[in-house]
Structures are given as C-alpha cells and as structure tokens.
Structure 1
C-alpha cells in the first residue's frame, strides 16, 4: 500500500493538491477529512475525480489526534483492503503531517510506503500567516478551542516535515484580490518559502512533481528542537538568513535583555543556546513571528560523555549528522548556534553578531569557577515557556 499525506490550512489548496496527487498512480483513492463542530468528522472519498463515498462520524472526544487515529487510519486500512494501490489522505486543516505519519505507522496492520508528505498553501498568504497572533481556533482553521498554535507555528512545523510544497491560489485570493502566481505577494511568498523550507520541492500548478521522495529519517532530523537548517544559497534578496555562533556560555541576564532585539523583525529564529545558569542543559530557542520560546532538550553530549567517563563507561562518539554541530576541542558540542530569517532590511548580521558577542561570558566571568548565576529565564525548571 502506498500513501500520500496532504496537510494545509486552506481547504481549497488542500483539495487542489489532493486531486493532483490522486493522478500519480493508476489505482488511487483520494480521501478528504474535515473535523467540524460537535466532534463531527466529515469524510469524502473520490476515485478518478468522482465522489463515491460521503460519511459523517461523531467522535466521543473530537480532537485532531483522535480524528487521525479513529478515522483517517481506519479509512486508509479499509481502502487498501478494497484493492486500492495508492491512497491520498487529505488531513483536516491544522493537522500536522508528522502526527499522521506516527499514527499510520502504529495503527496500520499492513506495511505501507509513504510516498510523499505534501503541504499545500498559497504563497501570497505566507507572510501574513507567519505574523498572525491569533490561534488556529481563533482564525477558524480548526474547531478545537484548546488549539493555541498560531498559523506560523503550524507552517514552520510542516516545512520541516514535508518533502514537497504545492502552491495553489487559496480562499484568501478571492478576498484579497491578488492575482495568483502573477502577483507581487505570490512572488514574495515564494522567496520566503525558499528561506523557510530550503529542502522541499516547490511545485506550482505547471511544474513537474516527483513522487516517492519522502524521507522519514530526514524529517525527524529537521524537526528536532535546536536543529539549525539553512537555505541552499546565501544570496541576499528580499529575505535573508543570518547564522551566528558563540563558543562561550551566555550570561543569562544579558541574554534575556538581548532576546527581544534578536527576535525583532524575525520571521523565524531557531537554534540552541549554552547559558551559564543551565550550563549542562542544551536549550533550544525558537521564534516564529510574534512568539518566542525556550525549552530544554536534554544534556549536552560533552556533559553526557563526562558523566559516562566518571562512571567507567565508554564515551559516545559525537554524531556527525548536523553540518553546523561543530565539536570544539575544549567545549565539545556546547555552544550557541542561532539562525535568524527575516526581511533583509530587518535582519542585520553585524547587529546579531554584536548582540550575541555581548552576551558571552568575559574572561573574568569564565574564571569564576563554581559561580552561581542568576536565572531570570527560569531555565533551572527546564520548562517550555513562551515569552
């Protein structure tokens, strides 16, 4: 059984992409799932572009994960047993493709090959989505009131997971009047897409599509908190991505003061931090539009090695899976690596470098062996905390 997963925030974009993907195999079924008010799931199944099944199901607990586990997965199983070689699963708007992949891997009774994970969007809406402060529920993308993700958080998560981004004029095109691929907003969105999803194939309505290129391991590596992935080119256009590294620990107070300036004007800030008040903890930082948060991702490899050596165990060999994960002869993998993507006029490499350099501990501060540092970011609690 072959599966293709389609995620989106826009039902019109999703349906256009799903219909196209249904033509990649001779014997395909296309399924569109929607989670409506009252825990009601609407399921529509198409073959050769014609609707042959339309059903509604009421879930006892109508959340996005339950929709996938209790309706999407069983539908894929049933259609495979009916003899379909390929099933396109159009997920309810706001459902993360990574969650669907996990549920399918665990819930299907037969082996399945995931050909592609595809995000469908209107590039003209991308900038607005990144900066939208409303939650998915407040914006009407999902019926789940407790879903407090923003549209930018959803899209950045999907960019890391998918192998392909399909572009279609969405529902917003009719409201804003932009002229699809001929508009300035569309072209600007395409440039921003190249900065935010450099690995993904960007496929327009007239472009060739490459089936069968989903890489599960690659998706997991890209979406690991603290991972830094960069555009394929460092050419500066309307948007740019700046990478900066700081080899010494950061002073927690100075970093707290610098964080709003680092995030100002940033569409996407991501990386890992070495902060003196939580020196053995690898802190991931992420800022998407108006939201910035920090979270613990465990112990630095160098500290884990030191613990293993003291216990008489063989130290781990540092994995070379991430190009920007440098191994310092003294500090190991400890260190700050930060990438900031935004409009070229808003992202100044010199300013970002100056701010991070100013946060590093001085020689005198480094010499304070056993010093206890203030913890204004509450990193000692190792909790994810939006700021």
Structure 2
C-alpha cells in the first residue's frame, strides 16, 4: 500500500495509482466528521459512511483499515489533511498492513510560509476535531520529514530545496512537471522508513543531512552531557518559534534526572513529551537538532539552548535547590507522563 500526503490539487495520487497497476485509489473527505459522516471514494465510486462517533480514530479503525484488508493492501491512499500521517501508519502497523511507501506532495508556492507560520489547522478549516490544536506547520513539516519520496509542485526554490535537503536527506525528490512515478519509487532507498514510526530514542535525523549553510538555511546541533535548568529551558523555547522550520531533541533537566523529555517544534507549534526513563544511564545527554531559515536564527537557537544549561554551581547544589519545573504541568496536560 502506498500513502500520498499533502495538497494534491495537481493529481499526484491519481498518477501514482495509474502507475501502480492493479491497485485501487482511496480518498476520504472528513469535513463532515464532527457529525459522524465521512465521504469515501474507491476509484470513482463514492459512498457516505456513517460512524457512531465522529473522530479520526474511528475513521481509521472502522473504515480505512477494514477497507484495506478487503482489497489486500493493494491501494493508493490519498490522505485527507485531517488524518495525521504517523497515526495512520501506527494504525496500519497494528492491523498488520504493510506500507510500501509514503509520497509527500510539497507546494513550492506555500510550503515555506506554512512551515514557519503559526496558523492552526482549525484556522485553516482543516481541523480533525474541536480539540485539534495542531498547526499547519506541524502537519506540512511532518509530512515532508516522514516521506519516503517527495514531489514538489511549482517552480523550484533554492531555499525550499536547502530546507528539504536537511529535513529529509534520504527521500528522492522530483518536480511535479514531467514526473515519472515508476522512476521516483524505484529511487527510494532500501532502508527507507516505509511507514515506520520512531519510538523517541531513534536517531533524530534519518540519513546524513548537509550541516553547512545554504541560501541562509542553517543546521544547529547541540550535544551536551550536562542537564538543562528547567525554567531557563522553558524560557528558551521562545527562540525556537521564529524563522525555524524544525526542532527535534531528547533532553533532560536537573530536577528530573530520570526522565527523557522529547522536544519537537515546527514553525510556531511546539510539543513536549515525557519519553519515560532513559534506556541506559549513559544515554542521558542533550541532543537537539534544528533547521533555521536564517543564520541569525541559528545563532539565537544555539545560544539560548546553551545558556539554559545548568551551571557548575547549580549542579553542585542540585540536591538542595528546589527547582521550579514547568514540564511536570506540560506533561500532565498532554497526559503523556
């Protein structure tokens, strides 16, 4: 089964379907999801599906997964924007349905603005539910990063190319104009992700992105053994939300030495999760990877993170000091601890 994510007004999903002989093309329209109604296309046949509960998980569990089981997984699925790509892949993996590849469509005219903005999916009219707090940046960056292959629709942009080179160095990238689907899929490397979702302790970046700057796009890597001061790290997060495409990192704070915290941002959207205990004591270290669109943003991010590290004096008095820990509240709100 192949997944196609991203805006697809240019017809990439149909072209992939035509190139993958013997497959069916599946689409969902989730705009009526809140009322428990989903419209679904299988090839040219449209059907209205009524669900007892209008939610994305019900759409996956009660409609998409059974449909793919019936067609033997030989399908091209054009994902509705409300469907989170990683959640779809998790549901398919639990059902034993193999993902042959993920193709992301990137609109060269809007992607960079979306990837560095703070507009929410709800403001764009694409929310999966009333509780959907995702930003457009989190969705479009996640799709391009998770993909096994990328199709760029629109005029080539050197800044966009530089970002994608660093965001997903493994994925072959082709222009929509003159696209050869068979050649693109054949170019996907043998060790591509193919729907596999990271567990939080995997490498922060798949492949080897260029670390030098290009067209103003920079990579920041912060790797330190000493912990962060919890409140200074919390305050440093403001630096991660301007002229920054992506931040990913595993960190620890001096007040919670046993906990591995996951930090991830895209544009103006930021999430923090508790991954649980470190797999081994020697793994406890700061590792943060960021992609910025300006050198000034790269310097700001690196400086803010390093300034948030605990000092020698704070480490020496760690057992005596009472640190204010904002991350406990964040994790409680996310119900991820």
Whether the 8 Å CA contact 1:252–1:276 is kept in 2: the answer is yes
Q: In structure 2, how many angstroms separate the alpha carbons of the residues matched to 1:353 and 1:240?
A: 11
- Deviation of 1:163 after TM superposition, in Å, equals 1.0
Where do 1:242-261 residues align within 5 Å?
A: 242-261=220-239
Q: 1:258 to 1:132 in 2, by over 3 A?
A: closer
Q: Which residue of 1 aligns with 2:54?
A: 62
- Deviation of 1:11 after TM superposition, in Å, equals 4.4
Whether the 8 Å CA contact 1:251–1:275 is kept in 2: the answer is yes
Q: In structure 2, how many angstroms separate the alpha carbons of the residues matched to 1:143 and 1:291?
A: 16
Q: Which residue of 2 aligns with 1:346?
A: 296
Count of aligned pairs between the two proteins: 324
Whether the 8 Å CA contact 1:127–1:189 is kept in 2: the answer is yes
- Deviation of 1:382 after TM superposition, in Å, equals 4.2
What's the Cα RMSD here?
2.9
Does residue 69 of structure 2 align to residue 77 of structure 1?
yes
Q: Which residue of 1 aligns with 2:168?
A: 197
- Deviation of 1:255 after TM superposition, in Å, equals 2.8
CA offsets per residue over residues 365-386 of structure 1, 9 Å max, x none?
332262233124243774366x
**Larger Rg: 1 or 2?**
1
Q: In structure 1, how many angstroms separate the alpha carbons of the residues matched to 2:81 and 2:298?
A: 35
Does residue 337 of structure 2 align to residue 337 of structure 1?
no
Does residue 214 of structure 2 align to residue 234 of structure 1?
no
Does residue 155 of structure 2 align to residue 181 of structure 1?
yes
CA offsets per residue over residues 51-102 of structure 1, 9 Å max, x none?
3x2222222222222222222222223334xxxx831111222312332233
Q: Which residue of 2 aligns with 1:116?
A: 101
- Deviation of 1:118 after TM superposition, in Å, equals 1.7
TM-score (norm: length of structure 2): 0.83
Whether the 8 Å CA contact 2:151–2:175 is kept in 1: the answer is yes
**SS class of match (2:40):** strand
Whether the 8 Å CA contact 2:243–2:294 is kept in 1: the answer is no
Q: Which residue of 1 aligns with 2:124?
A: 139
TM-score (norm: length of structure 1): 0.74
Q: In structure 1, how many angstroms separate the alpha carbons of the residues matched to 2:90 and 2:304?
A: 40
Q: Which ranges of structure 2 fall in alignment gaps of 5 or more residues?
A: none
Q: 1:283 to 1:164 in 2, by over 3 A?
A: same
Q: Which residue of 1 aligns with 2:90?
A: 102
Q: 1:299 to 1:372 in 2, by over 3 A?
A: farther
Does residue 112 of structure 2 align to residue 163 of structure 1?
no
**SS class of match (2:29):** strand
- Deviation of 1:209 after TM superposition, in Å, equals 0.9
